[in-house]
Structure 1
Amino acid sequence: MSISVTVNDSTNTATITIVGSFDFSLFNEFRDAYINLDKTHNHYIIDMSMVEYLDSAALGMLLSMRNTIESESSITLAGANDFIKNILMISRFDKRFGIQ
């Protein structure tokens, strides 16, 4: 389980990549990934292509991120497998996030 952050200043985008299980054990690391950036970005991408498991704590962490960053900034949840994408859609996350 790990989180990495990549920033592209030319597109003003921050990509947060999550590997393994996305659950409560990543609470502090996930929050630090977007709180500790040098500036606010226009677009955030949560790369979920390597997420194997997601629980309700992870859903709460995503909502907390949405409520913390500027409302003008967009968040895209990208690369989730079909099972995780289905959880996101059932939870109506498509109303608050872009889902790819």
Structure 2
Amino acid sequence: MSISVTANDSINTVTITIVGSFDFSLFNDFREAYSDLTNHYKVYVVDMSMVEYLDSAALGMLLSMRNTIELGSNIQLKGANAFIKNILMISRFDKRFDIQ
């Protein structure tokens, strides 16, 4: 379980990559991944291509991120497997996030 952050100032994008289980154990690391940034970005990408498991705490963390990030910024949830993407759709996250 780990989180890495890659900022690209030239295209005003930050990518937060999650590896392993996306659950409550990542609460502080995930929050720090976007709240400790020195710049505000137009696009925030949450790379979920290596997420094996997602629980309700992760859904809450994503909603907290949405409420913290400036309204004009786009949050993209990318690379989720079919099972996780289905959870996101059932939870109606497609109304608040750009799911790819």
Range of TM-score over shorter length: over 0.9
The yes-or-no answer on 1:39 pairing with 2:49 is no
Seq. identity, %: 78
Structure-1 separation of matches of 2:16 and 2:5? 5
Residue 38 of structure 1 and its aligned partner are, at CA, apart by 1.1
**Letter aligned with residue 36 of structure 2:** N
Structure 1, residues 40-61: CA drift from partner, whole Å, max 9, x if none? 1000000000000000000000
C-alpha separation in 1, matches of 2:80 and 2:51 = 7
Supply the RMSD in Å over aligned alpha carbons.
0.3
Give the superposition deviation at 1:85.
0.2
Number of paired residues? 100
Runs of 4+ in 1 over 6 A off after TM superposition: none
CA distance in 2, matches of 1:69, 1:95: 16
Q: Name 2:83's counterpart in structure 1.
A: 83
Q: Is there any run of 5+ residues in structure 1 with no aligned partner, and where?
A: none
TM-score (norm 1): 0.99
How does the TM-score come out when normalised to structure 2? 0.99
